[in-house]
Every structure is written in structure tokens, then in C-alpha cells.
A = this chain, B = another copy of it.
């Protein structure tokens, strides 16, 4: 491998995840840690990143977003494992979905459609996927709730969204009207639907309903989720992945 190539890979990894570790890169790229350190030193001199003990972080991440929680990484990693290379996926807004991008690794190439600015930014910086973004007003949660149907012919293999609640009786529910509308539009298509949910929201019901539980193909949540609602969902035909 060319040294310049290696430095490009380091920058891509950094762009995708926000930070890199010397030890991880050394193992991944099969070079001595001291070589990685020299690379990082060089890239810092060129202004591409900021060197910190143990690795490097993005140059402009002064007051950046907090590091992802372990839960988000676990759920996102589980989702990433399920998606085959080459799929067309829709990613909704949220911390869990955004964390999927760095979980995908360097090889798996997808076509990603999203209405979340943070997801789009992470995906774009990897230069690895084909990326489509919904237009419209950008909200404080980085979600963009535009006229989806006008902009794309939605023929996606997987729809991956978060929700405020999922129960067998009340189905998929949300806190915000625009999010509920988005979910309803997306699930009308015949794609496979994956819902990412914090474990404490399994079986819960929120204000705005979008779809019955039967339309959810797969629920990914934490293993702390209580069993009774999971059982009911499973009865309703929802596959469950605990992580």
C-alpha cells in the first residue's frame, strides 16, 4: 500500500467516525504504530486533523456532538450487519440511524436516501456510498421534512427509522407529527422496515400513530427491553433483534 493511500484512508475513517485511534489504525493497516503517529503528525501539520493522546480528532470538533453512547453503537452495529452490500436504504433522523454509517465499515457500499442532515454529512464524507438527500427546511434535529414523494421514486430495499414507541396493539408511534407523516409515507412502500428503539420504549405508546406493528419487519433494541411486549410484537410478526 502506498503511504499516501494510507493517509487517505485515515482521513476517510476520521471523517466517517469523527475520531481515530493509533492502535486501531496500526492493526487495521498493518503497520507499526510509530508509522501511524508519523502520518497523523503530518496530517496535523497540513491542517487536516487535530492530534490528541491516543489518536486524532476532527480539526473543527471543538464543541462537537457528544460521543455516541454504547447503546447507540450496539444498535447501529446490529442494523449495519443486517444490510447487505449494494442495498438501497432509507435512513431517518436520529442518533441510532446516524451511527449506522461508521458501523458499515469500509467495504460495504450502499445507496442511501436520507432526510437527516447529520446522516448525509457522515455518509458523504466517506465518499463510499451513493447518496440522495431530501430537500426542505432543516430542523434543529437535523431532520428535513420536505415533499418526499415529489423528489424521489422511493424504491428502497430497507427503511430504517427510529420511533417513540412500538407496541403490538397500538403499532408504531411518534412524538412529532412530521416524523409520523414521514414514517407513514415510507411504510406505504413495500420495503422491509427496520425500527430502532431504545429498550425502554418497547411496548410504549406515544401521541402520533403511523403504522400497525405488522408493517414493521424487524425491531432492533437493547437486551434490557422487557419481555412481555416483545413477545406480543413477535406474535404480531415482528422479528426481534436484541443487542
Chain A: residues with CB nearer than 8 A to chain B? Answer: 2-5, 7-12, 14-15, 18-19, 21, 46-48, 52-55, 57, 59, 61-64, 66-68, 117-118, 120-121, 123-125, 127, 130-138, 140, 142, 144, 146, 150-152
Contact = CB atoms under 8 A, between A and B. Distances in A.
Contacts of A151: 135-136, 146, 151
A12 B63 contact: yes
Q: Is the interface of A mostly helix, strand, loop or mixed?
A: mixed
Q: How many copies, total? A: 2
A12 B65 CA distance: 10
B63 A127 contact: yes
A134 B133 CA distance: 8
Given A2-B21, A54-B3, A61 B8 contact: yes
Contact of A63 (B8, B117, B120, B150): B8
Nearest to A58: B64
Given A63-B11, A63-B15, A2 B52 contact: yes
A66 to B, nearest CB: 7
Closest 7 CB pairs of A and B: A135-B135, A47-B67, A11-B63, A4-B52, A8-B63, A131-B138, A11-B64
A123 B117 CA distance: 11
Contacts of A66: 47-48
Residue from A2, A19, A67, A131 having most chain B Cβ neighbours under 10 A? A2
A124 B138 contact: yes
Contacts of A137: 130-133
Contacts of A7: 63
Contact of A67 (B59, B130, B131): B59
Nearest to A123: B138
